[in-house]
Amino acid sequence: MSDITASARGRDVVARPAVRGAERKARMRAVMLEGPVVSTLMTLAWPTISVMVAQSMVGIVETYYLGFLGTDVLAGVALVFPIFMLMMTMSNGGMGSGVASAVARAIGAGRQQDADALVFHSVVLAVIVGALFMVGILCGGPALYAALGGHDEALQSAVRYSGWLFAGAIPVWIVSLMASALRGSGNVKVPALVTLVGAIVLIPTSPALIFGFGPIPRLGIAGAGIAFSLYYVGAMLVLVRYLHSGRSGLTLGVMRLEGRLFADILKVGLPTAINALQTNLCTILVTGAVGLFGTAALAGYGIASRLDYLMIPILFGLSSAVLTMVGINIGAGNGSRARHIAWIGNLVGIGITETMGLIAAIAPMMWLGLFTDDPAVLGPGSTYLRIVGLAYGLFGFGFVTAFAGQGAGAVLWPSVAVTARLIVAAGLGWIAVKFLGGGLPMLSAIVALSYLVYAAIAALVLLTRSAWQPRTA
């Protein structure tokens, strides 16, 4: 009898949180369908923005430290940074989106066994893709950085830095995809905590390894790469243990591999990863064009373009909230509210990015002066920010619009916009510099023009009536 009573109590303990969770989800859905748009967007976006900004700040602080090692080191970092960001955006926003989507759909359908299996499939996928990045950069990195304009000490710095940075590629991918699986299950606190703790640990660890501290030898630029890889190894072990324990609602264990589960991840993750690839390829090719102007110009551009990347985590947090609200309203048959949300999200995105851009254009030294006082580096960096900063609002508009289109199930024009931006910035940029003798001001103007083209084409999804019609299952 006591066993029966205990069993009933156990079921009640499990059932009550489930009811409360269902009530919370119902309330949130009602708010997204009927509540105030701006405050709801900010409520959804703030946690993601906070975590991603913290992660970006680690990279900015690291660049600040490396600036003490000289212009050649900054130029080397500028060569590596676009490749590194390619890996991070593909693992978090590309394949990571596929993992989060697959896990969320499995849990929503009551397929807990598939949700658990997807975690193991994600780890297998992370090992494969992470190994490809690691081997590819370790073997082909020197030739790639040389092709992008690196030479002499700048090239050597790039090779040393990326060697240690990409040695941790497999842990990076494992952490990214496991964190995405947790977010897909509704658990955002643990990935956020791991990221924030990592930022707290990395900020003092990097300078200790770069400059030496006590018994720790001075490792120079290699120390920055080592600190990063050590953090991800530690984060990987923490998340593996957490998921293996089953406390997260997902359980990591060795399971039979199934093609349908890989397909479930890739059908969302692959197209998103391709867009991330194009975005970063654009930056890589523009970096190569800047490299034709010399090491100082490359270092200046590298510092200035870091501000471009600082906008992305802010926009990603906002845009993810827009996608969620648009998708729920489209699913509920409220297309007019969905499009209204898209426009409101765009106005917020424009306000944030254009404010940052105007400040950078008017006072570029506020940003550049954080990293160097070399006039040869500050000149090119200022030129870039004074021209491109004026167009940051257009980038924000296109970015948010692309996510709104994904939420509405209309991805054609956003995808075309990404490709068009690549063609204008990288294609026309290379032609202008290599064959027409254009300088950095012309190249910067072309990059600004690419933002205009990107925004104009992405905007077509907002003007297409069929994109905002209710979807039937």
Cα–Cα dist 181/174, whole Å: 11
**Residue 333 tokens, joined:** 């048959």
Per-residue pLDDT at 21: 40
**Residue 249 tokens, joined:** 């609602």
Per-residue pLDDT at 80: 84
Per-residue pLDDT at 173: 92
366 contacts 359 by C-beta, under 8 angstroms: yes
pLDDT in tens, the chain (473 residues): 444 444 444 444 444 444 444 454 456 567 667 778 878 777 777 766 776 777 667 767 777 777 777 777 878 887 887 788 788 878 877 787 778 767 766 765 567 788 888 889 999 999 999 999 999 988 888 888 888 777 778 888 888 888 888 988 999 999 889 888 887 676 667 777 887 787 777 778 888 888 888 788 888 888 888 888 888 888 889 888 888 887 777 778 888 888 888 887 887 677 777 877 887 788 778 888 888 888 888 888 888 887 877 787 788 778 777 876 776 677 677 888 888 899 999 999 999 999 999 999 999 999 888 888 888 889 999 999 999 999 999 999 998 998 788 767 677 788 889 899 999 998 898 899 888 888 899 999 999 999 999 999 999 988 887 777 765 44
Distances (CA, A) of 324 to 195, 321, 375, 407: 23, 5, 46, 6
Per-residue pLDDT at 17: 45
Cα–Cα dist 368/437, whole Å: 26
345 contacts 321 by C-beta, under 8 angstroms: yes
Residue located via tokens 């990195």: 141
Q: Where are the domains of the chain?
A: 32-51+292-473, 70-267
Which among 198, 270, 207, 200 has a CA at the least distance from the CA of 66? 207
Cα–Cα dist 22/278, whole Å: 39
